[in-house]
Every structure is written in structure tokens, then in C-alpha cells.
Chains A and B, each alone.
Chain A
Amino acid sequence: MSGDSSFLAQPGRRAAIPIMVLLLLGFVAPLLAVVGFSFMPPRTFGLWHEPSLENYERIFSDNTYVSLLWSLGLASLTVVLLALICYPVAYGLVRVFGRWSTALTLLFTIPLIVSENIRLYGWVLFFIKGGVLPGTLKALFGVEMGDFLFTPAAVLFGMVYVYLPFMLFPMTLGIAMVPNQMREAARDLGATRWQVFREVELPLSTPGLMIGSLLTFVLAVGAIAEAKVLGGQRIIPITHDIEIAFTYAQNWPLGAALAVLLMLVVSVLVLTVLKRFDLDQILGKR
């Protein structure tokens, strides 16, 4: 009790109470409701039934793991591809393009203003039979484009496209954080371009890469529109499973259990990565 009173003795903490209550109500309460629902009997709509593990049993006994693996696999691939694609672009934005960097940054940013679904439907028109790409290839070169739309590859393409800014900008900041003097010192000491990259620039820009990767992974693992619009539901990610449970199946407890499972898996993965790569240490805070 004495601890509580000393805690509240500080005016800052007392002043923080309203916002803490708001945060608890806004963030923690809905999460607790989802967790609570996950222990309710299947296809019930209240939180006051006798708790049951039935939903979790079902998740591990049917083929839900397929959806989870698709989500985790595609998110991981997206992160790897974006790291490979974005690093040279970010490097160019910071070190090479000069005054064009602002214009290029705008070009990467402006699409974010348009709804993701609309952009994805735009790609459908681009890839669909007789669409911009297949139609042009056929008209100009007589080449029939093979199936790309409504395939898992199209889903991956969509995810790389949608999440590119979320990797690019943290990475750009990461590269901008590398002091020029460090690079120059390495060159003066006889390091090759490759050595400068591998031993100076890459390690020092790791915070950007790490933050971009984590951000992209967490967003990508929750992706749904790409698989629905570009993938033609050829694959069902875990998020789509959750949506089906809450809509057509009207099995809120199962949807809640799937959501809890996804949160747990993502949290464990992210915390494991954060444990391996201490962001505070990388950022030089201690």
C-alpha cells in the first residue's frame, strides 16, 4: 500500500491517470475481450459461458496450420525481398540521387494516399488477360503472357509492392545515420568498397534494417487484401481465416482463438529477434 501511495504521490503520475485509463480501455480491454472470447464454446456470442479449450483444440486438429504457414512464409519472403530491393534504393536516396531524392521519396510516398484495395485492383487491370501488360506484350510482340494473376507469386508481388515504403524509409534513416567520417576513415585506412559496406555501412545502418524488417513483418503477417485481390484466394492466409470465422462462419470464439494464436506467434517471433538484436544497443542508447 505504501508503494501505491508513493507511486501516486508524484504529480506526473497522477496527471497520467486519465490517459492510462483511456489506453487501458482502448487497447487492453478489446484485447482481453478477444482473449476471453477465444475460451468461449464455439459459435456463441457472449463472454459469460463456461470457458472451454475447444477452439484451440480445433485449431491444432484441423488444417489451420496451412493458413498460418502461408502467412508466416509470405511475410518472411516479403521481408527478405524488400531488404534486398530497398537497401540499394535507400542507399541511392541518401548518397547518390542528390536533389532528385526528394522527388523520388515523393513518388514512393504518394501511392500511400490511395487506398490499398484500389491500388491492388489497379494491378489486377495491369496483369489480367488482355490487360495493360499481357495486352501490350501480345499487341507489340505477339507474346502470350503465362498465368501470373491469381497465383501465390502475384500475392507475393502485391505484398512487396504494398509494404515497400515501410521498409524503405526506416532503412533510409538507418543509412543516413552512418557518419560520412566513418566511411572516409575506413577508405583512408585502405578498406575496399566491399569492406566499407560490409564492415562499416551495413553494421551501422542495421537499426534501420531491423526496424524496417520488424515493421514490415508485423504488417505483412496481417496482410489479407493481396491474397484476396491479386491471389484470387488461391491461398488463404490466417487473417482471411479469422475474417471467415467472424463473418460467414459466425464462429467468433474460433476467430478470437485464431487471432490470439497469431498474436502469440508474432509476439514470440518479434521478441526472439529483439532479444538477439538489442535495438537499444544498436541505437547506441546504452
Chain B
Amino acid sequence: MFDSHLTRRNFMKTSASVAATFAASQMGPFSRPAYAARDKELNILCWEGYNSAQVLDPFRSSKSANVKAESLTNDPTMINRLRAGEINVWDLINVNNPWARKIMMPEKLIKPLDRAKFEPYFDKMLPQFKPPYKWAMDDSGKELLGMAQRFGPYSFVVNTDKISRKTAEDQGWDLFNDPKLAGRFGILESDDWNVFGICAIAGFDPYKPHSAEEVAKFEETAKRVLKNKKVVGDIATMNQALVSGEIDCHLTGGSYSVSPARADGHLNLRAITPNKGPFAGGKGGIAWIEITSVVNNPVSSPLAEQFLEYVQDPAVAHTVAFAEGTFNPVAQMGNPECFKLFSKEQLEAIQWDSLDEEMARSVEYDIVPDYDKLLDIWNAAKKT
């Protein structure tokens, strides 16, 4: 049952402290199979896409590994599952950009990557990801906290047959203040993002502390927008409602949500990034970048880092971009070997034509200081 290379004698030699020795002696013979078992086991907590068979099956077969992936659709839930004790369960966590740097690393929920090994991958990514990439680094700029891959602008989506791209970009978030739009728009069921959207419609930056007046304005705007909406639903419902003509646009959305409909030929549906808005620097939209980090699991799997390397491969990165569910640009498109795998239709689906300008007009997703308060107001407003 014991690993033949790891005898008590040589383990003692390499032990750094008495505490480690004590811990090892406590583990006993039953701990050894657990370590061995983790060599062929990987658990991934992620947004949809990384849990698809297209992405996981080749890795499973090449490593003869048991890879489990659970997909969730909001970051706070994933973070809180680690906080609630599931740090012992997961090996990789894939969430949006601010969480690794601002929350997970300070709370020791994740652990740093080997910079020498992983930073060269950033060199091959699109220019904005060149190392040291801010969201992949800790505050000190010394530790590499995760790898970037999928990203995209995420503000709102319109049917350009009903509302032109220019009108939507010029009018921006004010579109949803227009009484003429009552009963003609939907709201994507993505409440953390809807908090950002309502702040923007109310005319202020979500990513800063808010005054009592701003909170009151948020409440009034939330109630008004919810009263005027036609439907709240998931991505499939929003795209179906746009295609059928039930709605002309929907709040919270981007290439991430509309790309499946665009890939299906509905190129009149388009993610919009407003030309200007209430965000820092007068920017009009919000963009997200996923960072995938190694969880600080006490019995970590060596496959975690191997998986992070695996998804850097141009072909796998292309599969990740077009895995089931949603289609998204990936940072690895900076590598010509990866970019050439994207067909014209796929580039159209992810709005490659305007991606650079839309990212330039967007601020990066951040943590709302008074999120709990604003979310409670938003949820209460749903019932009025």
C-alpha cells in the first residue's frame, strides 16, 4: 500500500519541521491511498464550457484520469463553496477576474502557480494579456494566481432590426430609461450582473461605494426597470424571445450570451457596448475575463496544473472557445496557430469585428463594495 519510494526514513530526512513529521505520523497508512488516488483525479469548479465532454474527454483519456467538473453560473456561489469547506474537494476554480486577486488569494483559497512554467503562455496570448497580466497576479505583482482564457464585453444585447447598433451604442444604458421601451425588453437572469446594469442605468459607477442618494436612485431604477420588463429568463429564453420578436433587447448580455443565436445565423442580434457611460474614465461597458486558479486543496491533484497547460494548446483553446453552451473569444487567439482554427462564421458569432473597440470601451468586471445591499434591493424589487 505504501509508495516504495517514500519510506519513513527518507521522508524524515526531507521533512522540514517537527510539525510536518507529527502530521505525517497522524496520517497513518490510510492516508497513502488517498494521495495515490488523487494522482488520477481532478475536480473542476467552473463556468459552463470547461465541463463539456469536448474539452474534458481528451484530457481524461490521455491521463487515464477521473475528471469531474461542476458548472455554476455565478462567481459568488463558487467562492462561497470554497469558503464553506469545499476547498478539500476542488482542484481548479474558474471565475471572473477580480476574485482571484482580491478575495481568493488573500483568503488563501487558492495557491500561486509556478511563474517560470506558466508565464510564457501569456506571451502567446492577445496583446492585452501580456505578462505580468494584472488580473492573473496578486497585489504585490510577484505571485501568479491563475491563467486567462475566455473573455468578452458584457453590457446588453439588441435586435438590430428593431434598434440600430448606432442608436444603441449612442444612447447606451439610457435606452432602458426610455418609457417607449416598456414591455419590449427582457432581463437576463444573472443577478450579480443586473446589479451592475441597474447602477449604470441609474447613472453611476457600480464599482465604488455608494451614497444614500445613489442607493435610493438604484431602488427607484430597479423597480421601474422591473416593472417595464417583458420577461426575466436564462440565455436560451432571451435568445428565443429576441428571435421570435417577443423582445427587442435585453439587459445584461454580451457576446457570451448572444453568440449561440449568432452562430445559428441570427446576425441581427448583437451585443452592444455603449460609447460612453458612468464607469471609470467615462467608459460605457463592462468586460469579463475568466481566471482559472489552482485551489489550495490540502490534498491537491497534480493534474490541476497539467490541465491548465492542456487548455493552452491552440486546438484545445479553440475547443474551449466553442464548447457547448456559449461561444467566446479566448486570449490564446493571439497565437496564430490558434486563431487560424476559427472559421469566418465563428468569428462572426463572437463579434470579432468589433471586439477590440468594445473591450477598449469597457471597464473590467470588479467587485461592488455594497453588493449585498444592492442585491437585496434588487431582489425585493422583483416582488413589487
Contacts and interface: CB of A to CB of B under 8 A. Distances in A.
Contacts of A149: 246
A168 B83 CA distance: 46
B379 A244 contact: yes
B372 to A, nearest CB: 7
Contacts of A248: 74, 76-77, 191-192, 375, 379
B245 interface: yes
B77 A67 contact: no
A198 B232 CA distance: 46
- Interface of B (DSSP majority class): helix
Contacts of A124: 237, 240
Interface in A38-86: 43, 45-46, 62-64, 66-67
A45 B82 CA distance: 10
Contact-residue size bin, chain B (C-beta under 8 Å from the other chain):
20 to 34
Interface string A122-138: 00110011110000000
B231 interface: yes
B241 A62 contact: no
Contacts of B186: 232
A244 B232 CA distance: 14
A131 to B, nearest CB: 7
Given A45-B84, A131-B244, A248-B375, A232 B237 contact: yes
Contacts, number: 71
Contact of B380 (A63, A128, A130): A63
A249 B379 contact: yes
A67 B383 CA distance: 7
A250 interface: yes
A217 interface: no
Nearest to A228: B233
A229 interface: yes
A232 B183 CA distance: 12
Contacts of B208: none
Contacts of A121: 236
Contacts of A66: 383-384
Contacts of A128: 240-241, 244, 246
A128 B192 CA distance: 28
B376 interface: yes
Nearest to B383: A66
Contacts of A43: 372
Among B76, B230, B246, chain A packs the most CB atoms within 10 A around the CB of B246
A232 B231 contact: yes
Contacts of A94: none
Contacts of A177: none
Contact of A62 (B84, B189, B240, B380): B380
Interface of B: 74, 76-77, 80, 83-84, 186, 189, 191-192, 230-233, 236-237, 240-241, 244-246, 372, 375-376, 379-380, 382-384
6 contacts: A45-B80, A45-B83, A130-B244, A149-B246, A244-B379, A250-B76
Given A130-B245, A236-B383, A250-B77, 19 more contacts: A43-B372, A46-B84, A63-B380, A63-B384, A66-B383, A67-B383, A121-B236, A124-B237, A129-B245, A131-B244, A150-B231, A150-B246, A229-B237, A232-B186, A232-B230, A233-B189, A248-B74, A248-B77, A249-B191
Interface of A: 43, 45-46, 62-64, 66-67, 121, 124-125, 128-131, 149-150, 228-229, 232-234, 236, 241, 244, 247-251
